[in-house]
């Protein structure tokens, strides 16, 4: 037990309260660690082995778990697996007297935040736990913010679906009028959708898409970003780089758009285009990871003209580029992001009608 403590040093006070689970098979070490932490304002609970730790976590909700690597029956890494299954946000710290490379690698995969090697000082323990508590609090706050955002998007999605459900007669003019109403705070979004729909209809004709399908292509292209209307303007028009969480939320807009549009039976084919409008030819797109011909032709057309329009018109996050540079970007991504045949057909079209297509 005494090997845990290395010298006396002034302690920095813990900056916040938290619940700490101390797991070690030696009672004296459990008491010492708990005493160190308790004197700094932490609330401690203890366990001597894996099953007892799992029982504690089923009753309580610790913020941090200090796990000894060498536990009877089941080591700290195996216990970390089981604790992570019960609480994905639990902050994990390993406290061990041995250095094991395999345990360190597996711990990194599980998101173990720190390794404390015995002997350690009281200050090392407090500093490590304090960092872990900050990490846990940050994750909880982000999770709460994401939940509030998702709830707001869900409420807005229901409102949009209700608006679509009230459509009595489907026509381009009716859909455009509805989009104008829904985009009153962002008229550029409607203008973009209208341009994309016009270009998609022209490209569908060049590709000899059946007449009966062209109307669905045009409607799907017109509505391809409708899911973004459910999202807060601050997120959609954020001038700086998006966080991973924000990107994940924005990438839900095809599913949201599909759920909104598909409430109208006559728009179900268009809804499928909306859903697949961000799929990629090589299967790297989202949300379903479709590839090649599995992607509806209307979605493949929409992807090309949507990108072309996004590049050639000013956005919050970039200035417009020339038609030549936009075409070069489409060529560069043909075969990966875009259907090569659709790209070639679009290039032929803009070459013939550059003054009327843009």
Residues with active-site annotation: 228
CA of 40: how far to CAs of 37, 126, 313, in Å?
5, 8, 58
Q: Where are the alpha helices (DSSP H) in the chain?
A: 27-38, 50-59, 76-86, 101-110, 122-165, 172-182, 187-206, 211-222, 233-236, 244-250, 253-261, 268-276, 297-312, 323-333, 340-357
Which two three-digit tokens encode residue 154?
């869900």
CA atoms of 348 and 338, how far apart (whole Å): 16
Sequence-separated contacts (24+) of 206-212 with Cβ below 8 Å: 206/345, 206/346, 206/348, 206/349, 207/297, 207/301, 207/341, 207/342, 207/345, 209/297, 209/298, 209/301
DSSP code per residue over 36-57: HHHTTT-EEEEESSHHHHHHHH
Tokens 């095809």 correspond to 254
Token duo for residue 296: 């509806």
For residue 60, the tally of other CB atoms under 10 A from its CB is 11
Helix 122-165 with 172-182: angle, nearest 10 deg:
140
């Amino acid at each position: 037990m005494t090997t845990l403590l290395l010298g006396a040093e002034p302690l920095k006070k813990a900056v916040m309260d938290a619940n700490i689970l101390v797991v070690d098979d030696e009672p004296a070490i459990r008491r010492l660690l708990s005493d160190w932490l308790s004197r700094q304002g932490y609330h401690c609970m203890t366990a001597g082995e894996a099953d007892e730790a799992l029982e504690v976590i089923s009753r309580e909700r610790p913020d941090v778990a200090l796990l000894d690597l060498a536990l009877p029956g089941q080591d700290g890494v195996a216990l970390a697996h089981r604790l992570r299954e019960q609480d994905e946000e639990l902050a994990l710290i390993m406290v061990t007297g041995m250095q094991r490379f395999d345990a360190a690698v597996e711990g990194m995969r599980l998101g173990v935040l720190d390794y404390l090697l015995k002997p350690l000082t009281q200050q090392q323990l407090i500093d490590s736990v304090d960092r872990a508590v900050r990490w846990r609090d940050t994750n909880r706050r982000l999770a709460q913010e994401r939940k509030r955002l998702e709830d707001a998007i869900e409420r807005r999605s229901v409102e949009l679906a209700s608006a679509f459900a009230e459509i009595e007669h489907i026509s381009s003019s009716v859909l455009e009028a509805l989009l104008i109403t829904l985009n009153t705070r962002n008229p550029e979004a409607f203008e973009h959708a209208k341009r994309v729909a016009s270009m998609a209809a022209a490209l569908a004709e060049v590709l000899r898409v059946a007449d009966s399908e062209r109307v669905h292509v045009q409607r799907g292209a017109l509505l391809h970003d409708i899911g973004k209307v459910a999202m807060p303007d601050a997120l959609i028009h954020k001038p700086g780089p998006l966080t991973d969480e924000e990107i994940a939320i924005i990438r839900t807009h095809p599913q949201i758009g599909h759920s909104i549009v598909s409430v109208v039976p006559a728009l179900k084919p268009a809804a499928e285009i909306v859903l697949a409008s961000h799929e990629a030819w090589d299967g790297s797109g989202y949300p379903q990871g479709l590839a090649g011909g599995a992607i509806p032709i209307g979605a493949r057309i929409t992807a090309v003209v949507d990108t072309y329009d996004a590049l050639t018109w000013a956005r919050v996050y970039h200035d417009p580029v020339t038609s030549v540079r936009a075409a070069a970007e489409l060529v560069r991504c043909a075969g990966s992001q875009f259907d090569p045949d659709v790209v070639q057909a679009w290039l032929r079209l803009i070459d013939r009608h550059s003054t009327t297509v843009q």
